[in-house]
A and B are shown apart, each in its own frame.
Chain A
Amino acid sequence: MSATPRPIEKSRTKGQLAALYRISRALNSALEVQDVLQTMLDMVLEIFQADAGSVMLEKDGFLTINVSRGLDPEIIEKTRQKLGMGIAGWVAATGEALHLDGKVEDPRFDIVVERGDSIASSLSVPISVEDHVAGVLMIRRVGEKKFEPGDLAFLVSVGDLAAVALQKARLFQAERRQRRLLEFGHQKLSATLSSMADGVVVLDQTGQVVTTNTVARRFMHPLCGESLERVGEKLSSLAQRGQTEFTSGERMLKIVTTPLVVEGEESGSVLLLRDETANRELDRMKSEFLSMISHELKTPITTISAFLELLLHREFPRERQTHFLGICSEETRRLQSLIDQLLHLTRLEAGKFVLEERVLEFGKLVVDCIPAFSETNTDHEFVVVEPFPERSISADPTLVTQAVTNLFSNAVKYSPGGGKITVSLKELTDSLVLSVEDEGVGIEAEKLELVFEKFYRADNSLTRATGGTGLGLANVKHIALAHGGSVWVESTPGVGSTFFLELPKKTGEQK
């Protein structure tokens, strides 16, 4: 009575082994979790001639459908089964396989999702990874054809195979994520290195170059060309001599060395190459400025102290004494004005001042500045090109007065032969432009820009003779800039210069 089924049983076992072998091969070739599960499900459905199936995976105590065939998309979306609830939940919680036929009313399964009447038979097996149920493989048939008793055991074997493949895929995924993180870290590191302003060179203990960034290669190029070997040699030999600065081409480079410690062991050094060229230039300008200042301060002091010593130790007739004291007092004023302007310029340059803006009539301010010059100075004739626009601007009266005064005294100084100083004021759309024209020595074209730099003087001897500080025009520039205006000059050597001071109307209101 049982003779007939045996060959069938046998042949099926053979077929099942072949199928398992096929599945295991397919699973081995897939690396993505999703691919592993889908491949397995499709093969299982084909072998078991099932109509639908799914693999649910457990996460945080719930099962969700990971891959499926023949299921309603809405159900796939909605299914979220708590462990212990429903058929899949029961399988996952107990780790036991289930073969169910027809309508299921077993209270153990605490059915949550209604099982349609059309389902004839279903098999559910756990996918267990290291004593833990990671998911559930379920297949079903509709219609009349039910699964046979031996099918469940076979599917359990398939589930075990799937578990191994799943574990492998997960490990692979984790490893790949790790590798990506490392790569990302490496990319970030090299991006950081290449966007650094400093050069970076990493040397190993033998002085060989391990890493460089672009900046370092550019810095070292004049000395070593493309050769990293020579970069290593050069930097090692500098380090051996304890030298922290060197020149490469036009650049002055500074080396900051830090030991490279890998896992607590010193395994080389990290060298930062810093371009000090600009700092050097700044230092040079600073010391030049200081030496200029000290020279400018010492010159009047020299005159004053020498005359005072002479007056103390020698007898002079009264009128000569008066003359010497007159010179001393003139030089004292020069000293005073130099210090004033210096302090002023320092404040303006540092931007540490408050612009005390008031609405003022620029033209009136300009005209008010003239008497101080025309009264003490008979060599020059101040000509005002009238009428001045009656226009108010918002500006700091003290600063603007100083700028105008500086322009006037500059015009006087640079026209030692006297002559006309022509003052005019023009209104433009957004600004007022004051021009001060002299008939003096003029400025050569290539020096026009320089006259607004502090301590620059177109002609040293002339300015010194007239007591210039070399700061006046620099002050005018900073005052103009502080107001959002500008200053410039046009000049013909031997004919004269015209200085322009432009201040924005800003207030925009009619007076």
Chain B
Amino acid sequence: MSKTILLVDDEPHVLEVLRVTLEDLGFKLLEAQDGPGALALAKSESPDLVVLDVMLPSMSGLEVCRTLKQSTDTVGTPVIMLTARSGEDDAQAGYDAGADRYLTKPFSPLTLLTEVVKLLDMELA
């Protein structure tokens, strides 16, 4: 059964690069450009993993992450946070919000892919 991954970023080009990074591996890819959209998709589609930008308009990625981790449906869903903020406090805030991994922008697509595979407990083909 193919795994579903939810990609959340307000930058269309970043979304596109995430999509290209994870394409051809049999994932079903979903996209959202803001927090409320991400939460709605997480609820309806129950993704196996979420790649989440921190700096989102109106509702921050940290808040989205907290909400996901507090809901019984999504509490076990791994979340990889992506952020342009690189301070230690920022990383801590990410982990405090329940993130499983914390990658800073600019990120390496290969690193992201490796983390996704690890978190989904898959073997790279």
Interface set of A (CB-CB < 8 Å, partner B): 291, 294-295, 298-299, 301-307, 309-310, 313, 324, 327, 330-331, 459-461, 464-465
Contacts and interface: CB of A to CB of B under 8 A. Distances in A.
Contacts, number: 63
Contacts of B13: 303, 327, 330-331
Nearest to A323: B16
Given A295-B85, A298-B105, A461-B33, A309 B11 contact: no
Interface of B: 10-14, 16-17, 20-21, 33-34, 55, 57-58, 84-85, 105-110
Given A295-B84, A306-B21, A306-B109, A461 B57 contact: yes
Contacts of A324: 20
B124 to A, nearest CB: 14
Given A327-B13, A461-B57, A299 B108 contact: no
Contact of B17 (A294, A306, A460): A306
A303 B20 contact: no
A450 to B, nearest CB: 15
Contacts of A295: 55, 84-85
Given A331-B13, A461-B33, A465-B12, A302 B21 contact: no
13 contacts: A294-B85, A295-B84, A299-B11, A301-B106, A303-B13, A303-B17, A304-B106, A306-B14, A306-B17, A309-B110, A310-B20, A460-B57, A464-B12
A313 B108 CA distance: 11
Contacts of B58: 460
A306 B107 contact: yes
Given A461-B10, A461-B34, A306 B108 contact: yes
Contacts of A465: 12
B17 to A, nearest CB: 4
B85 A303 contact: no
Nearest to B85: A291
B84 A303 contact: no
A479 to B, nearest CB: 28
Nearest to A294: B84
A326 to B, nearest CB: 10
Contacts of B105: 298-299, 301-302
Contacts of A294: 84-85
Contacts of B110: 309, 313
Given A310-B20, A313-B110, 18 more contacts: A295-B84, A298-B106, A299-B14, A301-B105, A303-B13, A303-B17, A305-B108, A306-B106, A306-B108, A307-B20, A324-B20, A327-B13, A330-B13, A331-B13, A460-B58, A461-B10, A461-B34, A461-B57
Contacts of A461: 10, 33-34, 57
Contacts of A298: 84, 105-106
Contacts of A330: 13
Contacts of B10: 460-461, 464
Nearest to B12: A465
